[in-house]
Amino acid sequence: MPSGKEIKSTQRNERRVLVEIDASAGELVLGSQHATLTVNGTGDFSLALTRPYARALVGIVHAAEADAAGHVEAETVSGCDVKVTDLAGVAADKDVLVELVGWDSVDEI
């Protein structure tokens, strides 16, 4: 039953971006409308968002090749670094999907 009060949640301001890095070509196969890619070296990439978040993003790396692993570093409101390795932990140019989760509100609940 409505009480006349509104419930406001900034969690509704969540925005997700998915990009796919084609490491051998050094380009984004998916998500190029949301971010740009810079190749810094073997297995070392930087993503810059075309539309920054209001708070620092959270990045998750998903392997697109069976023998790939990765993680995200230096998360900011406008981008992050992506480090990709083989399963032995050696820097490698392997294809990965990167999921970026951020919020368009500076408030937290």
- Domain spans, the chain: 14-103
* CATH architecture entry for 14-103: Sandwich (2.60)
Take residue 91 and report the two structure tokens written for it: 């820097």
Query: Buried b vs exposed e over 55-81: b needs ≥16 C-beta within 10 Å?
Result: bebebebeebeeebbbebeebeebbbb
How large is the C-alpha radius of gyration of the chain?
16
pTM of the model: 0.86
pLDDT at 36: 98
User: What is the block-wise mean pLDDT of the chain (109 residues), using blocks of 10 residues?
Assistant: 61 86 96 97 98 94 95 96 97 97 80
Residue 41 CA to residue 34 CA, distance in Å, equals: 22
